[in-house]
């Protein structure tokens, strides 16, 4: 760890992973669970998403469901190409990782898979899971129905979650990954702003009375991305959540769906990778406006950041670092 200013510290990638694992084990996770969750948040940090990186561990250890009884992640219903999974009230970065493993294995064996999961919380970056599949030569779509704290246009109360959606495709190089929330501001970023007492942008949040606010501590509801269009996409993801079992979720809202398949259901994999890479190159080569030097593809900056920060290390807020080191030893229920 290196102090680079009174408010910021730098950690190598290995130091960040170790700090995350140590904190999670101290909070009560076993070594394997801690490794999987820590790898998720560290990848977010390396990809340049500081608020989804190490600070997210504080959200995990402070979460109200952490002390509730846990069960092992398990398959409740299964066919050769599908699985309905119970997340067992485990943290989503662990449970969704296990669901992604099932989705990948079934798709590689049978060409296609649909996997739904409920009874989990806080899955982190959806791109993490779809990229896992794409690096196995698969196309993957992942939808999330989450905690309701987003108000639709015209409402003064919430009816959807931030409900992200992610797609990933193999190419001749890095996977092409899209990951977007359907709210104007993401919940994890809101919690980060609350922790640091930083103002929100205009037009992304409402207070308890339904009035616009920039105060993160007074924010009761977020707003949808692009008005009715974001609301429609949020509802589409919420409908997929019903398919994934949200109606029988412990909180009646969480539903995670993975649709994963081999490109060679339609064309040879190498041909698909070649054509995908050519399509993306064509997009980047389009005529640019004056002063624009590059057309940025989704996740392109994240991949560049990941390679750079693996070498240079990550920076985090000193208060976050101190808070992680100060997480007390806890006894959480063992998954049975």
Instruction: Give residue 70's pLDDT band: very low, low, confident or very high (50, 70, 90).
Output: very high
Which of 148, 199, 170, 125 shows the shortest CA–CA distance to 261? 170
pLDDT of residue 246: 97
pLDDT of residue 332: 79
101-110 burial, b if ≥16 CB within 10 A, otherwise e?
ebbbebbeee
Domain boundaries of the chain, sorted by first residue? 2-65+303-325, 74-264
pLDDT of residue 333: 79
- Model pLDDT for residues 281-320, shown as the tens digit of each residue: 999 999 999 999 999 999 999 999 999 999 999 999 999 9
- Model pLDDT for residues 178-231, shown as the tens digit of each residue: 999 999 998 888 988 998 889 999 999 999 999 999 999 999 999 999 999 999
CATH code of the domain occupying 74-264: 3.30.1370.60
SS (H, E, C) 222-243: EEECCCHHHHHHHHHHHHHHHH
Whether residue 134 is predicted with pLDDT greater than 90 in this model: the reply is yes
pLDDT of residue 331: 75
- Torsion, CA 266, CA 181, CA 254, CA 75, rounded to 10: 30
pLDDT of residue 336: 78
Whether residue 97 is predicted with pLDDT greater than 90 in this model: the reply is yes
Instruction: Provide the mean pLDDT of the chain.
Output: 96
pTM, 2 dp: 0.95
pLDDT of residue 334: 78
Strand arrangement, sheet containing 150-151: 150-151, 221-223, 205-206
Q: Name every residue whose Cβ is closer than 8 Å to that of residue 32 and which is 6 or more positions away in sequence.
A: none
Which of 76, 77, 129, 71 shows the shortest CA–CA distance to 100? 129
pLDDT of residue 195: 84
**Do 2-65+303-325 and 74-264 come out as alike in CATH topology?**
no
The domain over range 2-65+303-325 is classified in CATH as 1.10.1530.10? yes
- Model pLDDT for residues 229-263, shown as the tens digit of each residue: 999 999 999 999 999 999 999 999 999 999 999 99
5-14, 19-28, 54-63, 324-333: least confidently modelled range: 324-333
Question: Would you give the distance in Å from CA 243 to the centre of its chain?
Answer: 20
Give the other-Cβ count within 10 Å of 118's Cβ.
27
């Amino acid at each position: 760890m290196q102090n680079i200013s009174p408010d910021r510290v730098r950690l190598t990638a290995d130091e960040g992973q170790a700090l995350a694992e140590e904190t999670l084990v101290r909070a009560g996770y076993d070594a394997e669970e801690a490794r999987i969750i820590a790898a998720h948040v560290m990848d977010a940090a390396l990809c340049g998403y500081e608020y989804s990186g190490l600070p997210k561990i504080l959200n995990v250890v402070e979460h109200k469901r952490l002390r509730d009884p846990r069960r092992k992640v398990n398959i409740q219903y299964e066919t050769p190409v599908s699985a309905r999974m119970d997340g067992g009230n485990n943290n989503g970065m662990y449970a969704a990782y296990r669901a992604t493993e099932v989705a990948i294995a079934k798709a590689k064996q049978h060409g296609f898979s649909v996997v739904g999961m409920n009874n989990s919380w806080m899955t982190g970056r959806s791109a993490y899971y779809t990229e896992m599949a794409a690096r196995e030569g698969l196309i993957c779509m992942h939808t999330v129905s989450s905690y309701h704290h987003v108000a639709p246009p015209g409402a003064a109360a919430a009816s959807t979650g931030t409900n992200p959606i992610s797609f990933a495709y193999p190419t001749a190089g890095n996977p092409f990954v899209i990951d977007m929330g359907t709210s104007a501001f993401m919940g994890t970023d809101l919690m980060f702003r609350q922790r640091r007492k930083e103002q929100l942008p205009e037009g992304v949040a409402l207070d308890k009375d339904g009035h616009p606010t920039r105060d993160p501590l007074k924010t009761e509801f977020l707003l949808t991305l692009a008005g009715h269009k974001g609301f429609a996409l949020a509802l589409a993801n919420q409908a997929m959540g019903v398919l994934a079992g949200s109606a029988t979720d412990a909180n009646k809202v969480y539903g995670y769906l993975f649709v994963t398949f081999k490109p060679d259901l339609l064309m040879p994999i190498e041909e698909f990778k070649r054509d995908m890479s050519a399509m993306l190159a064509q997009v980047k080569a389009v005529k640019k406006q004056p002063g624009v030097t590059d057309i940025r593809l989704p996740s392109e900056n994240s991949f560049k950041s990941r390679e750079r920060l693996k070498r240079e290390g990550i920076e985090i807020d000193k208060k976050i670092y101190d808070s992680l080191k100060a997480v007390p030893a806890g006894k959480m229920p063992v998954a049975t």
